[in-house]
């Protein structure tokens, strides 16, 4: 048996993956950073009990997913009061605004599709490990990812490479 690496090296090695998972669930907000911190605080406490040879990345991704859900639940309990509506920020001329629209569509996906897409495409986990985290089989995880990606492609079409605009589905 090999000894577990120091926790600092675990954070350095898997920190970016954990942050991607938190952002996939919560969006690109400071809440994702908070969930990232809470993930590693919880992981640091439980790390001494983690068996040698355990899949640390999958373990951290599971903790991150649960912490992100906790943040989502705590958000729902907070009342929001405003005296007047804020002006909406224009996205005209902002190339990053397209990505913000994508996050809105990702957040609207069913939970399983969103989770599987985040675990596979952002965290890089294989479908067999994702199935252990979300439940079900690797084939079901693969199907959930395919359905989610298909939905995102319908709602958020790619720019047409030849004409510089967006593709019109009726003209295909």
pLDDT category of residue 30 using cuts at 50, 70 and 90: confident
pLDDT of residue 143: 96
Does 133 fall in a domain?
A: yes
Does 144 fall in a domain?
A: yes
Does 12 fall in a domain?
A: yes
Q: Give the Cβ contact number of residue 160 at 10 Å.
A: 11
Domain that holds residue 50: 7-78+94-155
pLDDT at 35 > cutoff 60 = yes
What's the pTM? 0.52
Q: Which residue has the tokens 């729902």?
A: 76
For residues 130 and 119, is the Cβ–Cβ distance under 8 A? yes
pLDDT at 170 > cutoff 80 = no
Does 160 fall in a domain?
A: no
d(CA 41, CA 64): 11
CA-closest candidate to residue 5, choices 62, 42, 57, 61: 57
CATH code at position 20 = 1.20.140
Average pLDDT, the chain: 82
Q: Tell me the mean pLDDT in the region 92-113.
A: 72
Does 98 fall in a domain?
A: yes
For residues 45 and 36, is the Cβ–Cβ distance under 8 A? no
d(CA 1, CA 19): 30
Radius of gyration (Cα) for the chain, nearest Å? 19
Does 51 fall in a domain?
A: yes
* Residue 28 CB partners (closer than 8 Å, separation 6+): 103
pLDDT of residue 76: 73
**141 vs 76, more confident:** 141
Does 49 fall in a domain?
A: yes
pLDDT digits (tens, 9 = 90+) for 49-73: 999 888 999 999 999 999 998 888 8
Does 14 fall in a domain?
A: yes
Number of structural domains (the chain) is: 1
């Amino acid at each position: 048996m090999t000894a577990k690496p120091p926790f600092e090296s675990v954070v350095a090695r898997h920190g970016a993956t954990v942050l991607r998972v938190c952002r996939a669930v919560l969006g690109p907000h400071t809440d994702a950073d908070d969930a990232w911190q809470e993930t590693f605080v919880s992981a640091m406490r439980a790390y001494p009990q983690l068996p040698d040879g355990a899949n640390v990345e999958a373990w951290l991704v599971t903790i991150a997913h649960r912490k992100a859900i906790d943040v989502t639940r705590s958000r729902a309990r907070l009342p929001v009061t405003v005296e007047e509506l804020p002006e909406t920020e224009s996205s005209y001329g902002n190339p990053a605004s397209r990505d913000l629209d994508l996050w809105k569509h990702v957040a609207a996906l069913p939970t399983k599709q969103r989770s599987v897409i985040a675990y596979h495409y952002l965290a890089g986990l294989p479908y067999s490990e994702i199935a252990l985290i979300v439940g079900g089989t690797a084939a079901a995880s693969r199907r959930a990812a395919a359905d989610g990606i298909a939905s995102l492609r319908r709602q958020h079409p790619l720019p047409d490479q030849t004409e510089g605009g967006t593709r019109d589905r009726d003209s295909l």
